Structure 1
């Protein structure tokens, strides 16, 4: 029995290479009329995958028929390409985000390295200034550096009148009040941690220097302001 091709209506004999449409027409289709590649034809024949010819998958004017049209290898191929494209974009975005994060961390490490390098150079300069000939041991050098840091928190005031009170506590409170008053004139609202008179002999006609000790270096006043206070 001779059948006709569902696409070109040409004759199809038992020896004619063809594919069976599993769509609405259920007709045999010439291989040349299928519109498939050799790979797709081989896959369909070997796996017995459902396949519909062009006429069966053409869009219909009826909404119900378009919603029930069968999948073809071409439509599956397009769907796979779309999904792979979306997946590739997601992977690229993820990798880009991670690379940006790594770059930020590397920049932060680079900044930390620069800061540490500067601090190391500062320590070297301090050691060289304290021990230019290398004659002092490390403990002496470190003690000297610590002493310098402590002195940076100190301030010496001159010509600050001393209290005539006999009680040490009253005199210390008077010195603290006088110091705070002088600091406030410069717009400095920091209260010292401690004030100490330098020297043992108290002479009210010539006040002893007043040592002002701050809690930290950031609270200490620079030397130019010290000169204005005296």
Structure 2
């Protein structure tokens, strides 16, 4: 028998040992619990994937619906623009100079309304008799704040005021209130009207939004028409705004009773 060298013996033992380890690893059985867990994990992944697909499908339906609405709105806008272009073309054809004047007047009115949008007009604020302008303004602010506080709210911060028209001995002039922006004016007017209706204390102060000269002329014309038609025997008439234009209409009936919103002549 041929003798085996020490080196060969070491290599034989190592190979035998590795073969034994590999055989042990491959022969380890997979338990039923592990199989069930793997199946449960797959089901969970499938369920999550299905839920995500359904959510994506719902979002897609919503997106398709919004696109359809936008297309419909675009068609309507195109039709409106086409109709306006036709009207403008007819106006320019029949009255070459009037179209430019109308556009200029419209732009001026829009600019004036933007300036008025951050202002309010107060009626019923006692007028100061102080000789100095600064003192009169301070007293007007104080009187205004007290009347506003009487309905349970506070006056807006950092407001400025100025009296409108010529001074007279019979009544206090309207007080124009300058707020910081349009949103502040709209929100405070809404807040005051709500508080004023709930409070029995306010019998004097009235607030309305500021109006341009054209708006005041339209409103005065409506009041004149209202007076004339009332004197002629027509009943249940009121002034309502249609598309921003004051119009004399029959009062609407709500639950069998009539209601009327008070409007000021300015």
Shorter-normalised TM range: 0.3 to 0.5
Q: What is the TM-score of this pair, normalised by structure 1? A: 0.42
Q: What is the TM-score of this pair, normalised by structure 2? A: 0.37
Structure with the greater alpha carbon radius of gyration: 1
Structure ranking higher on relative contact order (CA contacts 8 Å, 6+ apart): 2
More helix, by proportion: 2
